[in-house]
Structure 1
Amino acid sequence: MLIFDLAIILLASKLAGDVSVKLRQPAVLGKLLIGIILGPAVLGLITATDVLEELSQIGVILLMFLAGLETDADEFKRTGKASSFVGIAGIALPLALGYGAGMLMDLPPLESIFLGLLLSATSVSISVQALKEMGRLKSREGTTILGAAVIDDVLVIIALAFVMSLAGGDVNLGVVILKKVAFFAIGILAAWKLVPLVLRLFAPLRVTESVVSAALILCFAFAYMAEYTGVAAIIGGYMAGVAISFTGYRHEVTEKIETISYAVFVPVFFTSIGVKVEFAGISSQLGLIAGLTVVAVVSKLVGSAIGAKAAGFGWRGALGIGAAMVSRGEVALIIAAIGQEAGLLQPDLFAVLVVVVLLTTIVTPPMMKWFFGDQADGGQEKAEA
């Protein structure tokens, strides 16, 4: 029953987060691990359902929306070069090593390329929360990570369309690129002209929380438009947050959305990641899982760090940025599902990669803590999730 599931998730996630902080780890790590304990892998109290998945999707969109609200626009402009270096280098090395791993596994060349492409994906939703807890979301490193994630998402989706066209799928690469360009062109125009107008129109309405409702409408509209054009919904949510951050309603929206998000939706998102873990049937694949996990972690960590170092960061900061890019999250899971449907991933390899993706997500927060922990520029923020 959904109501019971929510009660268990909220109770367990808050307690697990507190324990994680007491152990000097990011609170988000506790949320991820408690999901595994609650899910089918251990206790079986919570199962992955469509409704839980939808609530989780709302949670990650709101999390990225908040990241957009807290983005320093001036810092974002200054880190454009660094974000580009990190995004591109963070794709190149995983793509190359993933392809090499596929060839060693005797996969056909196209399937090997797809494996490399899947390992090139990044989802920084987990990293965003870890950055918030460490007080580094608005830092130069944090802004670079967010910008690199946008670049990574766009390049990987375009490359995916190219691979799918080679595989004989009904994919027109020109149309795919045009849709991405259209999203960013329309999105930027809407952020500039439409977002302030909508907020001003809603502000005088004689109903409760009209401005916050308008902000949520914009957030979900941007997220839908992004998903419709093949860009991840979280990028749309992030763009809406950045747009509102330029208005006078920024602080009001941030305060209210944080309450809504961290009370219900964000804990569901973090916990649901762990709930998806299932160990049945993979005991014979542990060696492959370990090998691909090492490739996934090292390739993204080193590739992104090289890009950050080339952009002028010191090695510790560069490795911290690389660590934040390691989580593949829901973006890689979506790509894996597309690959399985297109016949580019066999069912047994699909199951292995789901576990690999989840492992990259779990190891990301402690890695970030290791590289960023003693550099926190604002002290540890309240661990909310």
Structure 2
Amino acid sequence: MFTYPPIPLLATETTANLGPMILAGVLLSLIVIYLASKLGGEISRALNLPPVLGELVGGVVVGASALHLLVFPESGASATDSVLMSFLQLVAGLTPEALPEVFNTQSEVISVLAEIGVIILLFEIGLESDIRELKEVGYQAAIVAVVGVVAPFTAGTVGLMLLFHVPTIPAIFAGAALTATSIGITSKVLSELGYLKSKEGQIIVGAAVIDDVLGIIVLAVVASLAKTGTVDILNVVYLIVSATVFLLGSIFLGKFFNKSFVAVSDLLQTRGKLVIPALIFAFFMAFLANIIQLEAILGAFAAGLVLDETDKRKELDQQVVPIADILVPVFFVSVGAKVNLGVLNPFVAENRAGLIIATFLIVVAIIGKIITGWTVTGQEKINRLAIGIGMIPRGEVGLVFAGIGSASGVLSQSLEAAIIVMVILTTFMAPPLLRFAFKEPAQTVEKLQNADVAN
């Protein structure tokens, strides 16, 4: 009978003794993450920009691009690059021999928390995406959304492959990152300008909602391609069909599940009687999507869409927010921390190619969305430029693409940094450009539209 060699007791004890050090590293990392997210978010809010953008920039500051407080081995960093590990050596007596294991394990824990954070984020987005609105926005918004996905994706992917000789999988991922539209940013600006209920506003918001759904399907497909590492046409067709069927099937079956969910939550009497069953459902759907070769976030998004139809949606929405407040910043700050913007430094000769790619992505990101305004037909006096500009900001949705791409390891440092720069610039420029596009006060436009109807 074969016997395994005995494991040295000392090694087991050493690993066990590292537990407190690993916990200390995780706690220090979370302190840095929450400080960066809060300070960045508050500064961004003060500048009338979305707080999530501040969280990303905060991550860039504390990460590989600047302070090196939060660095990750998958980004090429070692334990000696981490300022937090040096601090643990100084104040807690962490030995040089134990340093790599503590660093790697602490990084894995933060990465897992970030993955859970993005699952919660997509669940929350699903809860906020009203299926009834998707049915009512009409074909105009649907056309704007489809063109806003297909045009930048095609131009970005083909351009990267032909002009810059980027490999197929990374090019597809970067092209997919160009498809996103942030409904939160656009709707906020439209509301401030008084155009949210205008024809332009309704088309923009409706198209952004459909854009989100299409974007999640695209993300699920390209993330699955990243796992296999090859582009097989049959596999691509399978992924597109399975993602669509999974999403539509979940929504259809959700009509029958909703009553059971409400009944179960009403029977429970302890704390968390609503949010815990909801999270069980979200995690189960994420697990289900994952085992059929789709991305877990698609399952979480589908779960949100299903529970959005229940009578307890508003109450559930309120209970999910604090959970998202805790976990989602870990994702966004981690995305920023993993990006090394130094690879786009124009003064270093080998970095200039990456900077050119970033410029290309920004141009495609802007033009690919602006042209959507001219797909609107049958509306003579509609502001087509405003519709196109309203689709430009990538915001948190674009960051999800960048984060998944970073975690999959398919993106080079320069391409990942280029995508992040594209997301930041499109998000920054959209609000002032939208204000410029709507030169007339909302009340004046409304009067002109009413006069046209009367005549």
Taking structure 1 as the reference length, what is the TM-score of the superposition? Answer: 0.79
Higher-Rg structure is 2
Asked if residue 67 in structure 1 is aligned to residue 125 in structure 2, the reply is yes
Q: Is the CA contact 1:117–1:160 (under 8 Å) kept in the aligned structure 2?
A: no
Cα 1:231–1:93 shift into 2, 3 Å: same
Deviates more, 1:20-29 or 1:248-257: 20-29
Asked if residue 120 in structure 1 is aligned to residue 175 in structure 2, the reply is yes
Asked if residue 226 in structure 1 is aligned to residue 289 in structure 2, the reply is yes
Asked if residue 217 in structure 1 is aligned to residue 217 in structure 2, the reply is no
Amino acid at match of 2:113: L
Deviations 1:6-36 (A, max 9, x none): 1222123212211222223322222111111
Cα 1:181–1:25 shift into 2, 3 Å: closer
Deviations 1:51-86 (A, max 9, x none): 222222222222232222223333221336324542
Q: Is the CA contact 1:68–1:245 (under 8 Å) kept in the aligned structure 2?
A: yes
SS where residue 215 of structure 1 aligns? helix
How far apart, in 1, do the equivalents of 2:358 and 2:60 lie? 18
Asked if residue 27 in structure 1 is aligned to residue 51 in structure 2, the reply is yes
Q: Is the CA contact 2:285–2:302 (under 8 Å) kept in the aligned structure 1?
A: yes
Corresponding residue of 2:429: 367
Q: Is the CA contact 2:63–2:70 (under 8 Å) kept in the aligned structure 1?
A: yes
How far apart, in 2, do the equivalents of 1:352 and 1:163 lie? 18
Deviation at 1:184, TM superposition (A): 2.6
Cα 1:191–1:113 shift into 2, 3 Å: same
Deviation at 1:47, TM superposition (A): 2.3
How far apart, in 2, do the equivalents of 1:326 and 1:241 lie? 17
Corresponding residue of 2:298: 235
Amino acid at match of 1:277: V
Cα 1:196–1:133 shift into 2, 3 Å: farther
Amino acid at match of 1:20: S
Identity %: 24
Question: Gaps spanning 5+ residues in structure 2: where?
Answer: 1-24, 73-106, 378-382, 443-455
How far apart, in 2, do the equivalents of 1:203 and 1:326 lie? 34
How far apart, in 1, do the equivalents of 2:409 and 2:244 lie? 24
Cα 1:168–1:104 shift into 2, 3 Å: closer
Deviates more, 1:276-285 or 1:203-212: 276-285
How far apart, in 2, do the equivalents of 1:168 and 1:277 lie? 26
Matches for 1:322-333 after TM superposition, within 5 Å: 322-324=392-394, 328-331=398-401
How far apart, in 2, do the equivalents of 1:355 and 1:274 lie? 9
Cα 1:257–1:128 shift into 2, 3 Å: farther
Amino acid at match of 1:119: A
How far apart, in 1, do the equivalents of 2:129 and 2:428 lie? 23
Asked if residue 267 in structure 1 is aligned to residue 329 in structure 2, the reply is yes
Aligned pairs, number: 364
Asked if residue 286 in structure 1 is aligned to residue 351 in structure 2, the reply is yes
Deviation at 1:171, TM superposition (A): 6.5
Q: Is the CA contact 1:19–1:30 (under 8 Å) kept in the aligned structure 2?
A: yes
Corresponding residue of 2:146: 87
Deviation at 1:306, TM superposition (A): 2.0
Matches for 1:1-385 after TM superposition, within 5 Å: 1-48=25-72, 49-79=107-137, 81=139, 82-105=141-164, 107=165, 114=169, 116-122=171-177, 127=182, 130=185, 134=189, 140=202, 141-155=204-218, 172-173=235-236, 175-262=238-325, 264-279=326-341, 283-311=348-376, 314-324=384-394, 328-331=398-401, 334=404, 340=410, 350-372=412-434
Q: Is the CA contact 2:154–2:175 (under 8 Å) kept in the aligned structure 1?
A: yes
Cα 1:274–1:124 shift into 2, 3 Å: farther
Deviation at 1:208, TM superposition (A): 0.9
How far apart, in 2, do the equivalents of 1:56 and 1:161 lie? 19
Cα 1:214–1:284 shift into 2, 3 Å: farther
Aligned alpha-carbon RMSD (Å): 3.7
How far apart, in 1, do the equivalents of 2:226 and 2:296 lie? 22
How far apart, in 2, do the equivalents of 1:353 and 1:236 lie? 28
Deviation at 1:253, TM superposition (A): 0.5
Corresponding residue of 1:381: none
Amino acid at match of 2:151: A
Deviation at 1:274, TM superposition (A): 1.0
SS where residue 69 of structure 2 aligns? coil
Deviations 1:272-296 (A, max 9, x none): 1111112566644432222211222
Deviates more, 1:89-98 or 1:65-74: 89-98
How far apart, in 2, do the equivalents of 1:258 and 1:135 lie? 24
Question: Gaps spanning 5+ residues in structure 1: where?
Answer: 341-348, 378-385
Q: Is the CA contact 1:32–1:271 (under 8 Å) kept in the aligned structure 2?
A: yes
Deviations 1:242-283 (A, max 9, x none): 222221111111111112211x11221221111111256664
Q: Is the CA contact 2:153–2:178 (under 8 Å) kept in the aligned structure 1?
A: no
More relative contact order in 1 or in 2 (CA 8 Å, sep 6+)? 1
Cα 1:268–1:133 shift into 2, 3 Å: farther
Q: Is the CA contact 1:296–1:326 (under 8 Å) kept in the aligned structure 2?
A: no
Amino acid at match of 2:38: K
Taking structure 2 as the reference length, what is the TM-score of the superposition? Answer: 0.68
